[in-house]
Amino acid sequence: MNANSILEIVGQLPIDEQIVLVQQIWDEIAKHGNLPLSDAKRAELDRRLAAYQANPGGVVPWEQIREDRRKA
């Protein structure tokens, strides 16, 4: 079985199941150690961390964003 045949099967799944599968695949990849970050991604993460540290109460938890999106 190759990647194209797997994608054909995955394409038949409902979108929510495809998303779960992608998350599971990413988690499996991440188990193998630190993934390299580009300078731009590292800078963006640093910027977001600094913004959070400056105003920790000004964020919306992921669970709330996900729930709001599901209701939309």
Q: Residue 66 belongs to what domain range?
A: 36-72
Residue 27 sits in the same domain as residue 55: no
pLDDT at 19: 97
Tens-binned pLDDT, residue by residue, of the chain (72 aa): 899 999 999 999 999 999 999 999 999 988 887 788 899 999 999 999 999 999 999 989 999 999 999 998
Q: Percentages helix, strand, coil for the chain, rounded to the nearest 5?
A: 75, 0, 25
pLDDT at 30: 87
Residue 3 sits in the same domain as residue 31: yes
Instruction: Report angle CA 56, 62, 63 to the nearest 5 degrees.
Output: 120
pLDDT at 11: 96
Residue 24 sits in the same domain as residue 54: no
Residue 61 sits in the same domain as residue 31: no
Residue 21 sits in the same domain as residue 45: no
Return the residue matching tokens 């929510």. 16
Residue 31 sits in the same domain as residue 41: no
How many domains does one find in the chain?
Answer: 2
End-to-end CA distance of the chain: 38
The DSSP 8-state label assigned to residue 32 in this structure reads T
